[in-house]
Amino acid sequence: MAELFQSADFPWWIAGGYAIELAVGRALRPHGDLDILVLRRDQLRARERVAGWDLQVADPPGAGQLRAWVTGEVLQEPLHDIWCRRTPGAHWSVQLMLDEADGEDWVSRRDPRVRLPLTRLGRVTAQGVPYLTPEVQLFYKAKQTRGKDEVDFDAVFPLLDTAQREWLLDALNTTAPEHPWRRRLQPVS
């Protein structure tokens, strides 16, 4: 996927568990697919990168129903998840996720109060592969924390600097004030 998106003229990021592994610098666990995040405003350009693939939109989101993403179709909110595989008979291998932006700010599709300048949304590996910054990825993982999300949190938590911890704590205070990760993110006095 990095090769397909390498010359893209829009921002994109590896997301999900692989983003955490890129931040940590090592593999943590098996993965079922690869997540790629793009801004909604760049969706048609992202679609061009996987032209010829079987692209299915989760519509409605979370209902377990997929439908074809028709060439030229602009997906509107709340649609944000596109399942991708090279051919209709292949296994699903990529999840293309659309997220929101307001000018130069990333805006969480889950709660528009949670924002971050686009310049802080990602990092880049030594090989030039962009990936979602760990605090934003953890924010997404916090919605329905599973065992694999705890593994990811435990691995990347020691690497978060003060600004990253503060941002994640603020985001969780805003959206999930009872989340157990909040205790670990609290500053030590």
Q: What is the pLDDT of residues 77-96, one digit of tens each?
A: 999 999 999 999 999 999 99
Give every CB contact of residue 169 below 8 A, 6+ residues apart in sequence.
Answer: 182, 185, 186
**pLDDT tens-digit readout, 119-140:** 999 999 999 999 999 999 999 9
pLDDT of residue 2: 86
Q: What is the DSSP string of 110-128?
A: S-TT-EEEGGGSEEE-TTS
- pTM of structure: 0.94
Mean pLDDT of the chain: 95
Q: CA 178 → CA 109, 131, 164, 175, distances in Å?
A: 20, 28, 19, 9
CA angle 78, 139, 104 (to 5 degrees): 65
Q: How far apart are CA 30 and CA 32, in angstroms?
A: 7
